[in-house]
Amino acid sequence: MATNFEGWILKFGNTILPNSFLSNSYSATPNQRTELEAYRDDYTQNLYRVTSTGLKTKIEANIKPLYLEDKLKLQSIMENGLEDELQRKYKVTYWNDETCSYTTGSFYIPDTTYSIYWVNKKRNSILYNSFKLTLIQY
């Protein structure tokens, strides 16, 4: 089965995030369905579900340890998809494993925790531990 995979996983706006930023853990839950109501028929015990038509994706990308200058490059790439700074709303294209195609949507990025591993005085830089970047589709 042929796909249109182009060798990348995430793109912010029109800028591809190089896979070299990703550590060994990336996961996506594409096309999540939201259940509006579920019930069982009292007589037959058949299950009935009412599901919303809007499908939402959640992405969790672990970013490898980065020096400050590389973290700034990552943030610059992400800014290319920024639609609303206050809401942290980004236009993101991602590889959708369910449809085996690229899908574009608007995503919210919740608070990201950065922890410092080491301050490198010789390099005049900071080395950050790996961190998780979470994207939740609107």
Lowest mean pLDDT among 44-48, 87-91, 119-123: 44-48
Residues 6+ apart with CB under 8 A from 108: 87, 88, 89, 90, 135, 136, 137, 138
Q: 103 has which bridge partners? A: 94
pLDDT per position as a tens digit, 105-124 = 999 999 999 999 999 999 89
Assess contact for 96 and 84: CB atoms under 8 A: no
Assess contact for 30 and 99: CB atoms under 8 A: yes
Q: pTM for this structure?
A: 0.86
Helix (H, G, I), strand (E, B) or coil at 70: helix
| Region for 84 from its dihedrals, namely left if φ exceeds 0, alpha if ψ lies in -120 to 50, beta otherwise | beta
| Diameter over CA atoms, the chain | 75
